[in-house]
Amino acid sequence: MTLECPFCAPDRGRVVASNTLAFAIRDGYPVSPGHTLAIPHRHVESFFGLSPQEEAALFELIREQKQVLDGEFAPHGFNIGINDGQAAGRTVAHVHVHLIPRYRGDVADPRGGIRWVLHETARYWME
> Chain-centre distance of CA 43, in angstroms?
16
pTM over 0.85: yes
Q: Among this protein's residues, is 96 annotated catalytic?
A: yes
Q: Which CATH class is domain 12-126?
A: alpha beta
- Domain residue ranges of the chain, discontinuous segments joined by +: 12-126
CA nearest to 41, candidates 66, 20, 17: 20
CA distances from 67 to 9, 15, 42, 71 (A): 26, 16, 25, 6
**Active-site hit among 35, 94, 96, 98:** 96
Local confidence pLDDT in tens for the 127 residues of the chain: 566 899 999 999 999 999 999 999 999 999 999 999 999 999 999 999 999 999 999 999 999 999 999 999 999 999 999 999 999 989 999 999 999 999 999 988 888 888 777 666 666 556 6
